[in-house]
Amino acid sequence: MHISVNVDGVTYADEVEPRLLLVHYLRERLSKTGTVVGCDTGNCGACTVHLDGHSVKSCQMFAVQANGHEVTTIEGLARDGRLHPVQEAFRSNHALQCGFCTPGMIMQAIDLLADESDPDDETVRKGLEGNLCRCTGYQNIVRAVQDAAQRMKPGAGPKIEQHSDENIAAKQPVGGE
């Protein structure tokens, strides 16, 4: 089937098998290997990307379902050579060890912060319940997300760091696909 998908700001037109999972499309066809596959059942969240501004598990949908939509991956976050505040916070808070869960964890954290601008510990933990990490015990991940929330607050830091998902979050939620 023919699809046209915007991934990290670039529109790709491709012919794909209907059964091609979105994550495999990203990894194998577009070489966007920053997004990884950790399980078969949608539990680990390592493959989390944004579809039209909302987090989804890219191993739980087909590439054909992304036709006409915008996908943002971990590779599309940094702007003008500057890291996204959540990426920055993950590094400063040692919120990763092996780093395999990190792309998905960061994408989900950004989604969470779009809904909750100043989340408490429990809100962060609940918001990340669809992402498994085997290394960190989550403690520093929770800390990083809360730190990122502070970095992303209006007026915090230089203008470039104030980027959040506002522009994306304002869009319509992914309607029932």
| Helix (H) / strand (E) containing 121 | helix 121-127
Residues from 48 through 87 that contact other proteins (CB under 8 A) = 48, 51, 54-57, 59-62, 64-65, 73-75, 77-78, 83, 87
- Closest contact distance (angstroms) between CB of 112 and other proteins is 7
Q: How far is the CB of 9 from other proteins (least distance, A)?
A: 14
Cα distance between residue 83 and residue 163, in whole Å: 10
96: amino acid identity, one letter? L
Give, in order, the Cα–Cα distances in Å from 122 to each of 2, 8, 84, 128, 142: 43, 31, 23, 10, 9
Q: How many residues bind other proteins (CB under 8 A)?
A: 83
Site string for other proteins, 12-51 (x = CB under 8 A): -----xxxxx-----x---xxxxxxxxxxxxxxxx-x--x
State how far the alpha carbon of 60 is from the alpha carbons of 22, 81, 137, in Å: 8, 31, 25
Using CB under 8 A, which of the segments 88-96, 149-157, 159-167 binds other proteins? Answer: 88-96
Q: Show the binding pattern over residues 97-126: x = contacts other proteins (CB under 8 A), - = does not.
A: xxxxxxx--x-x--xx--------x--xxx
